[in-house]
Every structure is written in structure tokens, then in C-alpha cells.
Amino acid sequence: MSSNVVKAASPLASAVTGAMELSVAQWLLVVCLVAFPLLYEWSVTFKYFCKMAFYNGWILTLAILAIPICAVRGRNVENMKVLRFMLLHIKYLYGIKIEVRGWENFNIKEPYVVVSNHQSSLDLLGMMEILPGRCVPIAKRELMYAGTAGLACWLAGVIFINRKKTDDAISVMSEAAETMLKEDVRVWVFPEGTRNHSGSLLAFKRGAFHLAVQAQVPVIPVVMSSYKDFYCKKEKKFTTGKCTVRILPGVSTRGLSPDDVPDLTDRVRGLMLDAFSQMSNERPGKEPGGGH
């Protein structure tokens, strides 16, 4: 008799225990659902990591969608149009307004080299906003192995260089010069070589300028204003804000030789540094030149 009661009670006890376990799991889910938005609103650091995680994850997801579309053409610079189309909306998700000045300086039919300052991975938003037709960036070789994003970039004709091997980098630049002229391609380079959060410009590496001189094509400087009002990696801050992208007039390389590259590099950096300083001094809501 008691044995039967125990047997009968066992399924009941198991059901009660299961219900309790399920209840605990449900409570944990409720706590997480409540805690997440509270932490997101109250913790600047938590919000920063959430936004960056989504930013990187979303780009990888978009790359998955882009790969089969780009694969139809194979490796082709025209695939950059597909990537640009898919990435343009991200600024709206993050409430970042991008103002562009100097569009007319891209009205050049011949190939050219775009050089831009490099502050963070958010530079991608500014680049996609103004990316000229048949223009591809030069990127470090490691990006090629960044999963779906690397494959999408390869299909879009991105030029990869191994910065640790000078001979390889020089060879790639020489090939790029030939490709620019033969296939009417523009190239986008970050001459600082690495991300710079200092609020100024690092010294420029000369590869982009050697490339421009070798191909005898203009250098067009592009300056993105400081992100400090809405983004700061050190302070773990990422809010909404405004970025100004300024396209400066092209600098001719006609008749220049490799010996002129150091002077060309310094001259272009000086132009970009002046523009960056002017843009950084413009307070939000203040028009250039002091108007309100």
C-alpha cells in the first residue's frame, strides 16, 4: 500500500518540481527582460557595448545577404554598389546625421586616390555616404579573414595589403596603379594606417601618395569631423549626433616623381589637418563662419 502511494506520489512530485524549475526559468527571463532596458537607459557603458555589438553583428548579417548577390558577378568593383546600398540605412538606426560638403570636388572623370582620416569603425558610415562610383578601399589583409564581411569585401574588389611585408605592399600598390588606369577605378585609402582617437591626425604613411604619383592621378582629401560629441571609445560613450564630411579640392600629381612624394604627403596632411581643426571648432548648432 505505502509502496503504491510512493509510486503515485513520484510522478506528482516530478511534475511539481518541473513546474517549479519552469517557473524559475520564467522568472529569470522576466528579470532579464526588465533589467536589460533599465541597464541600457541607466548605464552608458552597457549602452556602448550593446550598440557596438549590434553594429558589428548587423554588418556581418548584411554581408550574408550581400554575398549571393555579389557572387553573380564574381569579384567586381561594381559590387561596391550593393554593399553601399545595404549599409546606408545604419546611420538612421543610430540617429547619426551626416552632412556632406564639397560634393563638386568628386566631379572628376579620371581615376583618383581618396585619402581620409581614420577615427573608428564608424568611418564606414561616412565612407558609404559619399563613396564615388567604381571606388574601392585599400584594407589590411586581416579583414579578408573576417568571416562573411571579408568575403563580401573580396567580392566587391577591395584591395588587401599585408602591412607587415613591405615588398608585398609595394607590389600590390603597383598592381593597383595599373588597375586604376586600365579599368577606371578609384581607390580609397586611410593614410594614418590605424584608427586614431587622439582628436587630431597621426603621421601619414606614404603608400597612397606613391600610388597616386605612379598612376599620375589626383589625390582627393576627405575629412570626417570628430565624433567626440556622440562617440568615444575611451569613455564608452555612444549616443546620437552629427558628423560632417568634407571633400576637399583635388591635389594634382601631374609631373611629380617619387622624390616629390614626401612633400606631397606633408602638403595633403596639412590641408586635412586645417580642415579637421576648423570642423572640430564648430559647435553643434553653429554655422561655419560664426553664424547661428
How does pLDDT run across 196-254, given as a tens digit for each residue?
776 779 899 999 999 999 999 999 999 999 999 999 999 999 999 999 999 999 999 99
What's the sign of the alpha-carbon dihedral 89, 159, 100, 199? positive
Set of cell numbers at residue 130: 559619399
Q: What is the pLDDT of residue 291?
A: 39
Q: CA separation (Å) from 281 to 226, 228, 238? A: 10, 12, 20
Judge contact between 201 and 117, C-beta under 8 A. yes
Residue 287 has pLDDT above 50, yes or no: no
Instruction: Quote the mean pLDDT of the chain.
Output: 86
Q: What is the pLDDT of residue 41?
A: 80
Residue 292 has pLDDT above 50, yes or no: no
pLDDT tens-digit series, residues 115-167: 999 999 999 999 999 999 999 999 888 888 888 999 999 999 999 887 666 66
Q: What is the pLDDT of residue 23?
A: 72
Q: CA separation (Å) from 193 to 113, 130, 170? A: 15, 21, 15
Rounded to whole angstroms, the Cα distance separating 248 from 259 reads: 24
Q: What is the pLDDT of residue 14?
A: 57
Judge contact between 80 and 157, C-beta under 8 A. yes
Can you give the pTM of this predicted structure?
A: 0.84
